[in-house]
Amino acid sequence: MRTADIRTRFLDFFAARGHTVVPSAPLPTPDPTLLFVNAGMVPFKPYLTGESPAPWQRATSVQKCVRTLDIEEVGRTTRHGSFFQMNGNFSFGDYFKEEAIGLAWELSTAPVADGGFGLDPARIWVTVHHSDGEARGIWRRVAGLPDERIVARGDEDNFWSMGVPGPCGPCSELYYDRGPALGPEGGPAVDEDRYMEFWNLVFMQYERGEGPGKSGYPILGELPRRNIDTGMGLERMATLLQGVDNLYETDETRPVLDRAAELAGVRYGADAEADVRLRVVADHVRTALMLLADGTAPGNEGRGYVLRRVLRRAVRSMRQLGHQDRALPELLPVARDLMAVSYPEVAEGFARIADQAYGEEDAFRDTLKQGTTVLDTAVAEVKAAGGRSLPGRQAFLLHDTYGFPIDLTLEMAAEQGVEVDREGFTALMNAQRERARADARARKSGAADTAALRAVLTEHGPTDWRAWEALESDARVLALLGPAGPVPVARTGDVVTAVLDRTPFYAESGGQDSDAGRLSGASVEADVLDVQRPLPGLVVHQVRVTAGELAPGGAVHAAVDPEWRLGARQAHSGTHVLHAALRQVLGPTALQSGSYNRPGYLRLDFPWRGALGPAVRGDVEEAANRALRRDLPVDVRWMTLPEAKELGALALFDETYGERVRVVEIGGAWSRELCGGTHVERSAQIGVLSLTSESSVGAGMRRLEAAVGIEAFDHLARERDLVGRIAEQLQAPRAELPERIAALLDRMKSTERENQRLRDEATAARAAGLAGTAVDAAGTAVVTATADGGADAARSLAVAVRDRLPANRPAVVAVGGTAGGGGIVVVAVNRAARDAGRSASDLVKRLLDGRGGGSPDLAQGGGLPARRITEVLADLPGLVAAAAG
């Protein structure tokens, strides 16, 4: 049974039993504690925790997931994959243990002809929490399982919570015995390779209190509404139903593996280490495809770094297999054709996906070249110093700065007979990881900090949010929070977080900055500094009290600064216009991957290889401003997500959408996007859009910045004034400025060439005279001199003198000069001197006590006071003579 068919069969089974089919959420998640969705329940988290009411009583989904904590284990075990799909069924206060267990057993064991998966009931084992006698009894009654195949386990394995106060409960896992060829008998407690877990049923029935880890925290009592959260690994079920050894050999990954083996000229199954690399390629190529399809772009931090690491591991694994050419253009289309059956968007957006992936591979191949040069230099220095081990800090530099993997460093160093200080490297890596973990812990601590806010939400319900239709509203203060928790009152000068029952303030989201404005009451005035949504449905305001006192229960008037809101509307609508203009000029692959806008300013990131250039930027700017001049209508419509997709509305990948979505149109189909921001009513209200900058923000990713509205007028006025001043200084009409400036630059270049010619003639004339001042030092002609004009002048004179001396006699020339306020010395030697064992690099180091270096024929050093140049040069004949002795 194909993986896509397993997916469809699962959804159809639960849809027929009253579950709403919910589409997979995008892999990037707005949850600040997660980079990507890593479990099927993540999109349902607000409903499971009670933060928001669930739109359905029963739901089912197949959720795309990415986990990278075990990325080094990918390919080495049968259980680890960085991308996977989680089939799930969910109940929000509807059915509980008995029906969840019954549904899982029915689907798992029903014959294929009857819509089930046809697993042999005699080979299924289950685990339950040791305290959950109810679940044990249900398994006996519903499935007829004997006690020996119902295994009791503790909190670590069979009790679920999110790690913070909130819902929790026991769970029950289903395992399938794959046969004695894969391990010993005895059930999942003995061997989890033979007995493969394929489904986990979580029974959320309790509320937990504060406490670390997976156990040791108090259970506060029963939840008012009990929930069901289950997860069946789609790849694991495919492994079982397709009769393959591991998830890398299923129908959605094996063709990529086979193509990689073909390219590398190896056979899967012939070599254990090669097999690991092939499995890494198969997994990582699919993972990269799905991340790119959901809008993640390669970068140096966060989600972008995860994608970059996955792509580079795939490319490196192909290199280790012996394939030196570009690999992704051969592998990514294979993964596309496999995954498009279930996810058509990977085919629809493949031009953009491929452009980013291939650009990243090209960049990494360049990185390998740079890293190889650095490594070769470091190895040469180690050998020259008589060492046999590359320092750990050097290996870490290669890894951290150049993206050079440690195993590649180990391999290439060994080829040159040098070891690597692996312990030193590991210590530096561990220190970096600990910093990352500390950062992650700090990020996750934010979940605990929301406890007080969650209590406000539970007590008072969602905020009455009026930003789309109002600039002012009367409100009541529900709570005030400081860094340490609730505060009873905020006085003049205090900065606190205020929760209101209703608000007209726009909370930062969708790339739009939050509103600014004021809160005022009978005895208080406060500036609104920031507005956020820390929990679904809850809007909070960071405020600074400027007069009086603010206290919970007090009445206030909330007013948005109308000029700020006007600027914000212009900027957000301007972002949509620029996006549409960009796609009009460059084509549909120029899809926005990130944006930010505030009054007067916007920026937009999009995938593109190479700079646009002035002409293309001009075309984009003109297309945008023509849309403003046409005064296109701006319309907002609500519809279901499938209806919006059918209409062709663009969905931005870092947003999470509900069942009904808000579609903003500018000029109908010309610009049609899902958006929750504030907008103008017609495009002419944006005023003017002026591009101010274009830059690179990573491999294959560009950023446009623009001024909007009155700020755009200001920007153009400043440029007009600048052009006016230049025209006045050159005494030329503005239209002639490009030609006049070009003529000035040509004249400057011509003058510089003439000056250089005169300097070269002067150097040559002086070199001829200096060559005649050579002194003999044990058979070597030695010349010393000083030069004005810095290091370049000193090098030029040293080379010119050396070339004037007889080629058949060893010659050494040293020229002193000044650079940056200090003294420098340049040493040049001819071929005869090198043949006689003289080295410019060695000589300059001896002259300057080790401060310097270069090649054997030309070297430079510094670090001495300028007054000592003559003294140092006087030592050269003696050093040359001593070296000859």
Instruction: Catalogue the long-range contacts made by 853-859 (C-beta closer than 8 Å, 24 or more residues apart).
Output: 856/829, 857/828, 857/829, 857/830, 857/831, 858/795, 858/798, 858/799, 858/826, 858/827, 858/828, 858/829, 859/826, 859/827
* Contact present, 639 and 722 (Cβ < 8 Å): no
As given in the structure block, the two tokens for residue 411 are: 């391999």
CB atoms within 10 A of CB 743: 12
Specify the amino acid at residue 13: F
To the question of whether residue 572 is assigned a binding role by annotation, the answer is yes
Please state the φ and ψ torsions of residue 770, each to the nearest 5 degrees: -65, -30
- How far is the C-alpha of 812 from the C-alpha of 469, rounded, in Å? 83
Distances (CA, A) of 747 to 742, 743, 751: 9, 6, 6
675 is in an annotated binding site: yes
Looking at residue 118, its amino acid is: G
Q: Tell whether residue 65 is among the known ligand binding residues.
A: no
Strand partners, 135: none
| β-pair partners for 481 | 486, 497
Q: What is the DSSP string of 730-754?
A: HT--GGGHHHHHHHHHHHHHHHHHH
The contacts of residue 259 (CB under 8 Å, 6+ apart) are: 330, 331, 334
CA distance 810 to 834: 8
Give the 3-state secondary structure of residue 531: strand
Annotated binding-site residue? 171? no
Q: Measured between alpha carbons, how far is 37 from 27 in angstroms, rounded to an integer?
A: 5
Q: Is 164 helix (H, G, I), strand (E, B) or coil?
A: coil
Write down how long the chain is. 885
Contact status, residue 157 vs residue 127, Cβ threshold 8 Å: yes
Q: How many CA atoms lie within 13 A of 701 on its CB side?
A: 22
- Give the strands of the sheet with 689-696, arranged side by side: 594-598, 601-607, 701-708, 689-696
Cα(573)–Cα(575) distance, integer angstroms: 5
- Three-state secondary structure call for residue 637: strand
- The binding site comprises 572, 576, 675, 679
- The binding site for Zn(2+) comprises 572, 576, 675, 679
